[in-house]
Amino acid sequence: MTAQQTTPASEKTTTEYHWIMTVQTPDGRMTTRDAVITVPDGSNGFTRASAFDYVLKQFEADHGSRLAVLFFDLQPNQF
């Protein structure tokens, strides 16, 4: 017989996601960034599209809104 471990309902769990994005500005400059975001499990509002918008807004804050996204990847941050 094996014991099962359970997580109390009051104890929230999270999932980490690693993202990387490369953009090009209108004047031809390219920049790449990456980071890890932590999302509560069961978060109804978290989708790949919402993560993309979140990351793109960070680039737009620094470089303006006329950016061309050349690359975007989002994966669970695990082995």
Q: What angle do CA 42, 72, 25 make, to 5 degrees?
A: 130
Could you give the CA distance from residue 10 to residue 54 in angstroms, rounded to a whole number?
A: 28
Q: What angle do CA 55, 60, 66 make, to 5 degrees?
A: 120
Tell me if 54 sits within 8 A of 37, measured CB to CB.
yes
Is pTM, for the whole model, over 0.75?
yes
More confident residue, 1 or 50: 50
Count, residues in the chain: 79
Task: For 23-54, write each residue's pLDDT tens digit.
Answer: 999 999 999 999 999 988 876 678 889 899 99
pLDDT > 60? residue 3: no
Of 13-17, 42-46, 56-60, the range with the highest mean pLDDT is 56-60
Could you give the CA distance from residue 41 to residue 21 in angstroms, rounded to a whole number?
A: 23
pLDDT attached to residue 8: 55
